[in-house]
Structure formats: C-alpha cells, structure tokens
C-alpha cells in the first residue's frame, strides 16, 4: 500500500441542467477552478450513458463489459479526480436505477444529465497524486 495524507480544501457545489454532459462538465469545472486532486459525490438524474460493469474475465489487461443506459435513470455515486499530464481524469462509480432494476458501474464516455444533477467536489490539498497510463493493464492508474 502507498498513501499520502492531505486535507480538505475548497468545496464546490455545482448543479448541472438537463442534457449537460456529466463527465465533460466536471472536467471543465476542475480546469476552470484549478483543482488538482479531489473527491466528488453526485446525485440526480442521468438521461443516457455507458457504464463498465466488470471485466469479461479476471485477467490483465481486462476486457470491459459495457452496458448502455438508453433512458433516464436515477444516479448516486462517488468519484475521484486526479490529473494525467495536463488533463483531469474523472473516475466515477455509481448506482443507476430505473423502476426495479439497478445497475452499478463505472461511467464512461457518453453521459448526459436528465433534469438536474447535483455534484459536490471536495478538493484534496497537500498530496501529489496523479494518473499514469499503465501499458500492462491498458488503464490510467492512480500513482501516489
């Protein structure tokens, strides 16, 4: 295990409106506010999206299983923001529910707000974490 100890910095409360792109909007916000490391909480509605619900097999590199969210869902989740070079990498896992069906996964690529989405970003100060591409896994992994 590797770790660093930081402290909470600024807290940003954001409201995304209908049809705003979720991951893109979070990325733009942290760029604008110059937030280097953060944790965030998100709740509200998602109109559509694509989530990873696990690897095909337990092997490296993993082959992701993707599921499309093709209609509105309730969403609740948590994510992190660490930069890879000059790009903030938003990593978000959430629960996505519609009627009696709940899916849990990592939101990727496509993501659009339905009606309203509330995002609370808590800046983490005093650490030097970042993401780096790992050729073995094919993923941008956290480096501390």
Q: Are 120 and 40 in contact (CB under 8 A)?
A: yes
Per-residue CA distances from 7 to 1, 121, 125, 126 (Å)? 19, 13, 5, 7
Chain segment 14-27, per-residue pLDDT in tens: 999 999 999 999 99
pLDDT score at 109: 84
- What domains are defined for the chain? 11-143 (3.30.1330.80)
pLDDT score at 55: 95
pLDDT score at 110: 83
104 beta partners: 95
Chain segment 77-135, per-residue pLDDT in tens: 999 999 999 999 999 999 999 999 999 999 998 899 999 999 999 999 999 999 999 99
Other CB atoms within 10 A of residue 10 CB = 12
Mean pLDDT, residues 32-43: 98
């Amino acid at each position: 295990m590797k770790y660093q100890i930081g402290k909470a910095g600024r807290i940003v409360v954001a409201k995304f409106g209908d049809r705003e792109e979720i991951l893109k909007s979070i990325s733009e916000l942290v760029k604008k506010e110059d937030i280097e490391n953060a944790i965030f909480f998100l709740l509200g509605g998602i109109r559509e999206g694509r989530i990873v619900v696990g690897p095909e097999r337990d092997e490296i590199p993993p082959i992701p299983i993707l599921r499309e969210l093709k209609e509105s869902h309730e969403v609740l989740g948590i994510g992190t923001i660490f930069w890879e070079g000059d790009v903030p990498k938003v990593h978000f896992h959430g629960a996505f529910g519609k009627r009696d069906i709940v899916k849990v996964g990592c939101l990727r690529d496509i993501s659009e707000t339905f009606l309203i989405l509330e995002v609370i970003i808590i800046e983490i100060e005093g650490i030097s974490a970042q993401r780096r591409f790992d050729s073995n896994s094919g993923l941008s992994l956290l480096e501390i």
